[in-house]
């Protein structure tokens, strides 16, 4: 999760530490990845708060469904 390393190696405790330095490195990495995505023709949409892709399902009533 550092800005210079991309490998399949396990994440270390130091990489998981939420220090200001680590947070800034992650912000920098994410900003460069977003810029690269946009430079390749990608786009970003703003979605309204609370919007869901999956429609909530009606709860199933299983009361009395088993024989005595």
pLDDT above 50 for 20:
yes
**Residue 56 to residue 64: CA distance in whole angstroms:** 24
Could you state, in order of their start, the residue ranges of all structural domains in the chain? 12-39
Q: Report DSSP letters for 19-49, one per residue.
A: -HHHHHHHHHHHHHHHHHHHHTT-------T
* CB-based burial label for 47 (10 Å; 0-12, 13-18, 19+): exposed
Of all residues in the chain, what percent carry a pLDDT higher than 70? 90
**Mean pLDDT over all residues of the chain?**
83
Model pTM above 0.85? no
Could you report the per-residue pLDDT of 25-57, keeping only the tens digit for each? 989 999 999 999 999 999 988 889 888 788 888
What are the residues whose beta carbons fall under 8 Å from the beta carbon of 66, sequence distance 6 or more? none
């Amino acid at each position: 999760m550092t800005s210079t390393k991309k490998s399949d190696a396990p994440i270390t405790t130091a990489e998981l530490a939420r220090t200001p330095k680590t947070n800034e490195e992650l912000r920098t990495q994410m900003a460069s990845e977003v810029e690269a995505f946009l430079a390749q023709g990608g786009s970003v949409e703003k979605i309204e708060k609370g919007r869901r892709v999956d429609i909530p399902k009606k709860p199933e009533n299983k009361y009395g469904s088993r024989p005595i």
